Amino acid sequence: MSLLSKLFGKKQSSASVAKDRLTIMLAHERVDCKLPYLDDLRNDLIEVIKKYTSVDDVKITTHNNQSVDMLEVEILLGKK
Amino acid sequence: MGTIITVTSGKGGVGKSTTTANIAVGLANLGKKVVAIDFDIGLRNLDMILGLENRIVYDVVDVMEERCNLSQALINDKKAKNLYFLPASQTKDKDILERDKVKKLLNTLKEDFDIILIDSPAGIESGFEHSIFLADRALIVSTPDVSSVRDADRVIGIIDAKSEKAKEGKEVEKHVIINRIKPEMVDLGNMLSTEDVLSILALPLIGVVPDDEDIIGSTNIGIPIINKEKSLSAESYRRISKRILGEEVEFLDIRAKKGLFKTLKSMFK
């Protein structure tokens, strides 16, 4: 920031805005993708599927790449 | 046994290949036997930056598929005698590399060379994974802009997960190269500074390369800029090469030259 803008409290420089935005964004992105609601979701899914057929197991795995976070649900049907 | 160093970035177009070419020449000039490998399958580019595109007969996939010997595919740079180059294949199938074959090739090269420098493709797909999984060290190239820094951060997070070394409980040694910095813009507060980028990425710095129009010219003619005297970017690359070999070298002073006019301008900005 330049001297005068410090003195007169002019608007923030774009570089410091960039730094703040990055810091916040990355703090968010770095959080481990372990989602707290996964177990509940899994149980609810089992309940719903049970209405239609029998279930042996429901596996939920998380994937993420640069732009998308993804949940992969694998439903293992039980033998009737 | 040679050391495998992977140059990577996440985002494309930040100067990975230019960095690889210059550091490869730099290390060769310092007396190391170097092989530079282009892993950007389908989008071969390192050959033109090194000025070796007319000498390619076989490529890295030919070697892995045993269509030729390693020695037939390796191209020896005529100016930097210690430098060899292994070009990427121009096949459209970018997922053609196989893990076992990559491993076999790199282990063979480790016996013959001091340094194996891999130019990784952009992205975090299989090509990136192949270029990182046997790496001893990684050089992460980032320009001082938000997209590049963000992608660099993603890549840094993935390196250890994809690395064989990390599975053995060891860590891939990681360093940041900040590329294309414009000191005048940093002074005006219009560009992230070296310190800003480093504090975000939380990794040690191995070099800062100033933005330099001469690099376009050197790419045009296929002669890496590193040998040019009185060039700040060339000096940066020379110093990075020395630091890679463990030498302690002062960081280049790339602050903007300030005349009275510029000082006044930055005050009134």
Burial letters B133-147, b for 16+ CB under 10 A, else e: bbbbbbbbbbbbbbe
Taking each helix axis from N to C end, the angle separating B232-244 and B16-29, rounded to the nearest 10 degrees, works out to: 70
CB B127 within 8 A of CB B41: yes
Which pLDDT tens digit goes with each residue over B127-146? 999 999 999 999 999 999 99
Tokens of A74: 């694998």
Contact assignment for B200 to A15 by CB distance below 8 Å = no
DSSP output for A29-77: HHS----TTHHHHHHHHHHHHHTTS-EEEEEEEEEE-SS-EEEEEEEEE
Which pLDDT tens digit goes with each residue over B88-103? 999 878 788 899 999 9
* Nearest CA distance, B34 vs chain A (angstrom): 32
Contact assignment for B188 to A30 by CB distance below 8 Å = no
The C-alpha atoms of residue B38 and residue A33 are separated, in whole angstroms, by 33
Does A4 contact B at CB distance below 8 Å?
A: yes
B118, containing H or E segment? strand B115-119
* Nearest CA distance, A61 vs chain B (angstrom): 17
What letter would DSSP give residue B140?
Answer: E
- Which is nearest to B212 in space by CA: B253, B173, B172, B182? B182
Best residue in A26, A28, A32, A33 for a mutation probing chain B (most B CBs within 10 Å): A26
Which residues from B are below 8 Å from A22, CB to CB? 146, 149-150, 200
The C-alpha atoms of residue B15 and residue B215 are separated, in whole angstroms, by 10
DSSP output for A6-39: HHHT-PPPHHHHHHHHHHHHHHHHHS----TTHH
Given A2, A26, A65, which is nearest B124 (Cβ)?
A65
CB A22 within 8 A of CB A14: no
Does B150 contact A at CB distance below 8 Å?
A: yes
The C-alpha atoms of residue B179 and residue B198 are separated, in whole angstroms, by 12
Given A14, A22, A29, which is nearest B189 (Cβ)?
A14
Does A67 contact B at CB distance below 8 Å?
A: no
What letter would DSSP give residue B124?
Answer: S
Does B31 contact A at CB distance below 8 Å?
A: no
For chain B, 269 residues long, give each residue's pLDDT as a single digit of tens.
999 999 999 999 999 999 999 999 999 999 999 999 999 999 999 999 999 999 999 999 999 999 999 999 999 999 999 999 999 999 878 788 899 999 999 999 999 999 999 999 999 999 999 999 999 999 999 999 999 999 999 999 889 888 999 889 899 999 999 999 999 999 999 999 999 999 999 999 999 999 999 999 999 999 999 999 999 999 999 999 999 999 999 998 888 776 666 666 655 55
The C-alpha atoms of residue A62 and residue B2 are separated, in whole angstroms, by 37
Contact assignment for B151 to A66 by CB distance below 8 Å = yes
Given B151, B157, B189, which is nearest A15 (Cβ)?
B189
Tokens of B113: 């060379």
Which residues from A are below 8 Å from B190, CB to CB? 13-15
Sign of CA dihedral B90, B92, B93, B95: positive
Location of structure tokens 């800062």: B208
Location of structure tokens 């210690």: B82
Mean pLDDT of A12-39: 77
Kindly indicate whether the ipTM for this predicted assembly is greater than 0.90, answering yes or no: no
The C-alpha atoms of residue B229 and residue B251 are separated, in whole angstroms, by 17
Give contacts of B 192-211 with A, CB under 8 A.
Answer: 192-193, 196, 199-200
- Which is nearest to B164 in space by CA: B4, B47, B1, B2? B4
Nearest CA in chain B to A29: B154
Cα A61–chain centre separation: 13
pLDDT for A2: 56
Contact assignment for A2 to B269 by CB distance below 8 Å = yes
* Nearest CA distance, A65 vs chain B (angstrom): 8
Does B157 contact A at CB distance below 8 Å?
A: yes
Contact assignment for A66 to B191 by CB distance below 8 Å = no
Query: Assign residue B66 a region: left if phi > 0, alpha if psi is -120 to 50, beta otherwise?
Result: left
pLDDT for A36: 62
Please state the φ and ψ torsions of residue B92, each to the nearest 5 degrees: -80, -20
